[in-house]
Amino acid sequence: MSQKNQTLGEFIIENQAEFKYSSGELSRLINSIRLAAKVVNHEVNKAGLVDIIGAAGDVNAQGEDQQKLDVYANNKFIQTMTKRNIVCGIASEEEDDFISINSQDEQNQNKYVVLIDPLDGSSNIDVNVSVGTIFSIYRRITPVGTPVTIEDFLQKGDEQVGAGYIIYGTSTMLVYTTGHGVNGFTLNPAIGTFYLSHPEMHFPETGTIYSVNEGNYIHFPQGVKDYIKYCQQEEGDRPYTSRYIGSLVSDFHRNMIKGGIYMYPQSSKYPQGKLRLLYECNPMAFLAEQANGAASDGFGRVMEIEPKELHQRVPLFCGSSKMVQMVENFMSSSV
């Protein structure tokens, strides 16, 4: 029985049996993400010091030059999963193509591929605002022991076996699901351990927060404009509160706790939406649904979309189920 203050390591071991094809492999994979998260967290937390350290002529222990943090996070997550020989393939927002791991090694029996946005919202770093890492896990489709192919990555969100995010905020949290609800773990930085702090997280069925970049208002489809006007009308618990950090993980996290909806619609600037289906929208959609929320592209479930390419974009409306339903109503009545 999971309990508050349990460490993430203990939680993973205790819950291993509930994984569909339990062999310990998925547990090891989540463990490696936990490890990389701690390393990236350390680096993100000293972001403001980078120039000072740089000016003092310091280089890090490996003698590497300071890198941009999103590149650093990308390398850390890839290195950790590659070196521990835990996955057979990785796709990342920072890489044009997917990476096949140990494709020549017939002994490589790894079954999982990971898709990752190593540092989402990274433009917020310079101004000391929270950023996040988003990950999505699938079982490969092609046979084990052969090189992964694009087919292994272009799976519908409904096929995910795990997904989660790390939020580097006022505290650092790892929030994830393996299809049995959503649990949140907070890092105690003094000892480098994640503790279960938010067991069984749930979106309230409805909420009073809407999160959207309203600067793009005139470019939005009519259904979204109508919904925003609805949010602003005075009636019942409306007008709603507008909150937009511009960091998907942070906006999602707040809305899951308080009740609300995050929207990144299509617009004339981004006709397909801005966010990426495979490593931004699908993992957030899986988390949302596991937490009693919903995720839609405006017309239907995000996780039912058939992916066509690795870096595909889709519109995203994600959060408290009744609010997402309401956007869909506005969208369908405006076409």
Q: Interface residues with Mg ion (CB under 5 A)?
A: 117, 120
Nearest approach, Cβ of 281 to ligand AHM (angstroms)?
A: 11
For residues 42 and 40, what is the distance between their CA atoms, to the nearest angstrom?
5
For residues 149 and 141, what is the distance between their CA atoms, to the nearest angstrom?
9
Nearest approach, Cβ of 296 to ligand AHM (angstroms)?
A: 16
- Site track 18-57 with ligand AHM (rule: CB under 6 A), x = hit: ----------------------------------------
Q: Which stretch binds ligand AHM (CB under 6 A): 5-13, 183-191, 246-254, 322-330?
A: 246-254
Task: Decide whether 139 or 253 has the Cβ nearer to ligand AHM.
Answer: 253
For residues 141 and 138, what is the distance between their CA atoms, to the nearest angstrom?
9
Strands (E) located in 121-229: 131-139, 162-168, 172-177, 182-188, 193-198, 209-211
> What is the 8-class DSSP label of residue 313?
B
For residues 163 and 145, what is the distance between their CA atoms, to the nearest angstrom?
24
271 binds ligand AHM (CB under 6 A): no
Nearest approach, Cβ of 117 to ligand AHM (angstroms)?
A: 6
CB 152 within 8 A of CB 137: no
319 binds ligand AHM (CB under 6 A): no
Helix and strand numbers (H, E) in the chain are: 9, 13
Site residue total, ligand AHM (CB under 6 A): 10
C-alpha of 85 from chain center: 23
Nearest approach, Cβ of 327 to ligand AHM (angstroms)?
A: 16
- Residue 215 one-letter amino acid: G
120 binds ligand AHM (CB under 6 A): yes
133 binds ligand AHM (CB under 6 A): no
246 binds ligand AHM (CB under 6 A): yes
Chain residues in the site for ligand AHM (CB under 6 A): 93, 117, 120-122, 213, 246-248, 274
